[in-house]
């Protein structure tokens, strides 16, 4: 079965319709744990994008030789290999950002979103489609993390990407670690609200 979507549609699908964080509610751990600034979200987003794209391409490339009964272990080991690569690259070239993200880079190996995309998409589709689907999912994850980081950094510290925007700190509460739960909950409720208002306007 081949997908009938164009490359652009695949990317947009990952960012909007099937956004990993706000729509599929997967990979919540980093969304709560380290989304305190835009930069953190961006860095982890890059790492996830890398792992997602390369794992998708690898599985898509070998899909005909993987026996269905061992497909889940194969996915896991493929992801683990690419996570090891990005883990070592980040530790070598960006030690500061790596230290801030802590254990979460290694934990990409257990992110449900990547395994799910391999199972739902890459094992059936062509390498080209899988590549663009991986890009879409990675960008969608990055977008979600950066949106969360933007809200928390702006409200908590009054800054965006480290630059002082507001000049004061409206709600310091939001940069504290546990506020991630509140922030994700409130943003989901906000998106639900927008959806309800949109539907009501359409009906009227």
Partner 1 sequence: MHGMRRILLSLVLLLGLPVLAQAQELIAGKSFGKAPNEIVVTFAGPVDRAVVEDPANYRVYEEQDPDIKLALESVVLADDQKTATLTFAEPLNSRLPHVVTVSRVAESGVAATFTVMKPYLGYLLSILISALLINNFVFTKYLGLCVFFGTSKRKDTAKGMGLTFTLVMVVSAIMSWFFYQFILKPYDLNFLQIVIFIGLVSLTVQAVDTVLRKVNPALFNAFGVYLVLVIANCVIIAVPLILADNEYNFFESFMLALGAGGGFLLALYLMSSVRERMELANIPPTFKGVPIAFIVAGQFALAFLGFSGLTLF
Are 131 and 3 contacting, i.e. CB atoms less than 8 angstroms apart?
Answer: no
| Cβ distance to partner 1 smaller for residue 11 or 123 | 123
Cβ distance to partner 1 smaller for residue 75 or 132:
75
Minimum distance between the CB of residue 110 and partner 1, rounded to whole angstroms?
4
Structure token digits, residue 115: 């395994």
Tokens of 83: 């996570």
Rank residues 118 and 129 by Cβ distance to partner 1 and give the closer one: 118
Cβ contacts of residue 33 below 8 Å, gap of 6+?
104, 177, 180
Which of residues 170 and 177 has its CB atom nearest to partner 1 in the complex? Answer: 177
How many Cβ atoms sit within 10 Å of the Cβ of residue 169? 16
Residue numbers at the binding site for partner 1 (CB under 8 A): 25-29, 32-33, 72-73, 76-77, 80-81, 83-84, 87-88, 103, 106-107, 109-112, 115, 177-182, 184-186, 188-190, 192-193, 196
DSSP H or E stretch at residue 95: helix 95-101
CB of 79 to partner 1, least distance (A): 8
């Amino acid at each position: 079965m081949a997908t009938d979507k164009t490359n652009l549609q695949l990317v947009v699908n990952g960012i909007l319709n099937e956004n990993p964080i706000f729509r599929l509610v997967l990979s919540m751990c980093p969304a709560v744990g380290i989304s305190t600034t835009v930069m953190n979200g961006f860095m982890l987003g890059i790492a996830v994008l890398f792992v997602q794209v390369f794992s998708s391409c690898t599985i898509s490339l070998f899909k005909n030789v993987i026996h269905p009964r061992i497909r889940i272990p194969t996915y896991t080991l493929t992801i683990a290999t690419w996570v090891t690569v990005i883990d070592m690259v980040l530790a070598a070239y960006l030690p500061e950002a790596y230290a801030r993200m802590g254990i979460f880079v290694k934990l990409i190996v257990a992110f449900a979103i990547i395994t799910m995309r391999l199972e739902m998409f890459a094992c059936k589709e062509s390498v080209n489609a899988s590549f663009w689907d991986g890009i879409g999912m990675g960008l969608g994850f990055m977008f979600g993390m950066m949106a969360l980081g933007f809200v928390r950094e702006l409200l908590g510290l009054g800054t965006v990407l480290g630059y002082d925007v507001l000049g004061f700190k409206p709600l310091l509460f939001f940069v504290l670690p546990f506020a991630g739960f509140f922030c994700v909950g409130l943003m989901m409720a906000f998106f639900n609200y927008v959806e309800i208002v949109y539907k009501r306007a359409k009906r009227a």
